[in-house]
Amino acid sequence: MSNQKKHYYVGLDIGGTTIKSVMIDETGNQTGEMVEVRSYASQGYRYTFVQLEKAVQLLADKIGTSVSSIRGIGMDVPSLNCNGVIWGQANLSKDWFGTNIQQLFSEHIGVPVYMTNDGNAAALGEYKIRKKRSGGLMFLAPGTGLGGGLILPDGKVYEGTNNLSMEVGHITVPFREPDGELPTCSCGLRGCLEAWVSLIALQRRLKIELADQIWINHPLNKDHSSIEEKAFRLRDFAEKNDPLAIKIFKQQGYIFGYGIADLVRLLDPGLVVIGGGLAETTFRDQYMKWIRKGFKERAWEVYLKNPFDSKKVTTRIEWAKSGDFAGALGMAYMAIEKLK
Ligand SMILES: [Zn+2]
Could you tell me if 115 and 151 lie in one domain?
Answer: no
Of the pLDDT bands very low, low, confident and very high (cuts 50, 70, 90), residue 324 is confident
* Distance between Cα 184 and ligand 1 center (Å): 8
| Residue 139 shares a structural domain with residue 268 | yes
Cα(103) to centroid(ligand 1), Å: 29
Give the containing element (helix H, strand E) for 113: strand 113-117
Give 232-253 pLDDT, tens digit per residue.
999 999 999 999 999 999 999 9
Closest CA to 287 of 260, 323, 305: 260
- Please tell me whether residues 151 and 115 are part of one structural domain: no
Q: Specify whether 22 is located in the same domain as 144.
A: no
Q: Which residues pair with 30 in a beta bridge?
A: 24
Q: What is the CATH number of the domain that holds 64?
A: 3.30.420.40
Q: Which of 272, 307, 59 is nearest to 149 (CA)?
A: 272
**pLDDT of residue 7 exceeding 80:** yes
Q: Answer yes or no: do 59 and 139 share one domain.
A: no
Q: How far is the CA of 117 from the centre of ligand 1 (A)?
A: 17
Q: How far is the CA of 312 from the centre of ligand 1 (A)?
A: 35
pLDDT band at 4 (very low <50, low <70, confident <90, very high): low
CA 203 to ligand 1 center in whole angstroms = 16
Give yes or no for a contact between 322 and 129, defined as CB atoms under 8 angstroms apart: yes
162-209, pLDDT tens digit by residue? Answer: 989 999 999 999 999 989 999 999 899 999 999 999 988 999 999 999
- pLDDT at residue 323 greater than cutoff 90: no
Ligand 1 centroid–CA 138 distance in Å is: 19
Q: How far apart are CA 269 and CA 271, in angstroms?
A: 5
Quick one: 151 and 225 in the same domain?
Answer: yes
Q: Which long-range contacts (CB under 8 A, 24 or more apart) does 225-233 make?
A: 227/203, 228/203, 230/203, 230/206, 231/199, 231/202, 231/203, 231/206, 232/199
Whether 50 and 198 share a structural domain: no
For 22-76, how does the pLDDT look when each residue is reduced to its tens digit (9 = 90+)? 999 999 999 989 999 999 999 999 999 999 999 999 999 999 999 999 999 999 9
CA gap 201, 314 in Å, rounded: 30
pLDDT band at 91 (very low <50, low <70, confident <90, very high): confident
331, 74 in Cβ contact below 8 A?
yes
**Domain check: are 263 and 329 in the same one?**
no
Strand 8-14 and strand 70-77: the pairing is parallel
DSSP designation for 172: B
pLDDT at 223: 87
Rounded distance between C-alpha atoms, residue 336 and residue 330, angstroms = 10
CA 266 to chain centre: 20
Tell me the whole-structure pTM to 2 decimals. 0.92
Tell how far the Cα of 75 is from the centroid of ligand 1, in angstroms: 25
d(CA 74, CA 330): 8
Query: Facing residues of 76 across strands?
Result: 13, 116
Secondary structure tally for the chain: helices H, strands E:
9, 13
**Percent of the chain residues past pLDDT 70, beyond the cut:** 99
Question: How many Å lie between the centroid of ligand 1 and the Cα of residue 191?
Answer: 7
- What pLDDT, on a 0 to 100 scale, did the predictor assign at position 111? 97
97 Cα: distance to centroid of ligand 1 (angstroms): 19
Overall domain count for the chain: 2
From edge to edge, which strands make up the β-sheet containing 18-25? Answer: 30-38, 18-25, 8-14, 70-77, 113-117
Tell me: do 197 and 299 sit in the same domain.
Answer: yes
3-state SS, residue 2? coil
Q: Please state, in angstroms and rounded to a whole number, the distance separating the CA atoms of residues 11 and 21.
A: 6
Distance CA 27, CA 249 (A): 41
Distance, in Å, from the CA atom of 246 to the CA atom of 98, rounded to the nearest integer, reads: 42
Q: Are residues 108 and 148 in the same domain?
A: no
Q: Quote the radius of gyration of the chain (alpha carbons, Å).
A: 21
Q: Ligand 1 mean position to 195 CA, how many Å? A: 7
* 232 alpha carbon – ligand 1 mean position (Å): 21
Expressed in angstroms, the distance from the first to the final Cα of the chain is: 23
pLDDT at position 277, please?
87
What is the structure's pLDDT at 322? 82
Are residues 268 and 148 part of one domain? Answer: yes
Pair 339, 48: CB distance under 8 Å: no
Q: Give the pLDDT band (50/70/90) at residue 131.
A: confident
Strand 70-77 vs strand 309-313: parallel, antiparallel, or unpaired? unpaired
What per-residue confidence (pLDDT) applies to 96? 96
To the nearest whole number, what is the mean pLDDT of the chain?
94
At 262-298, the pLDDT tens digits run: 999 999 999 999 998 899 899 999 999 999 999 999 9
CA distance 5 to 65: 9
CA of 188 to the centre of ligand 1 (A): 6
- Judged against a pLDDT cut of 70, whether residue 1 lies above it is answered with no
Give me the domain span that covers residue 247.
133-320
Question: Looking at the structure, do residues 180 and 274 belong to the same domain, yes or no?
Answer: yes
pLDDT of residue 184: 94
Query: Residue 281 carries which DSSP code?
Result: S
